[in-house]
Amino acid sequence: MIAYTEDKIGYFFADALSEVIKTTSGFSFDISSPVSDSGLNEMTGIMCLYGNNPGMIILSASEEAVRMICAYMTGTPKNDVTSADADDTLCELINMTAGNVKSRINDEQQMYTLSTPFMIRGYSMKMLTKNRVTMITRVLKCDNLTLKLKIVFY
């Protein structure tokens, strides 16, 4: 059983991600719930949450968006950002976001241990879950950058 409401958990994770990106790159994102669950983009970072309410945090974006964020985070010209740099950036964003949330809500009822972040790449991916899974989705937008954030509890 989740100790916080879905809206509160969605806020914790989306706000943490927004704060991490603003601090590291200067981009300010607007956060919303998606009109429909439109699947995943070609880059998806994942981190498992272990504890009383096990789950996953999933961050998906286009490579173009991740490269832009990486360029601003590192001061590297966008055209010089490699695929490996983009991979590292997505994993680091998910790592910092999960760590930020852990420090905000790590209490007796909602305590987490975090896995190492990992990522997958591909087009036309979608996520399927079995029954009794809570999935909270938020979309973060800034100009032409869009990030999809999913928090799944099982």
Does residue 145 fall inside a structural domain? yes
Backbone torsion region of residue 3, taken as left when φ is above 0, otherwise alpha when ψ lies between -120 and 50, otherwise beta: alpha
Does residue 1 fall inside a structural domain? no
State the CATH number of the domain containing residue 106.
3.40.1550.10
Does residue 139 fall inside a structural domain? yes
Does residue 101 fall inside a structural domain? yes
pLDDT tens, residue order, the chain (154 aa): 456 788 888 888 999 999 999 999 999 999 998 767 667 889 999 999 998 788 999 999 999 999 999 999 999 999 999 999 999 999 999 999 999 988 877 666 677 889 999 999 998 787 777 778 888 999 999 988 999 999 998 8
CB neighbourhood size of 87 (10 A): 18
Does residue 122 fall inside a structural domain? yes
Number of domains into which the chain is organized = 1
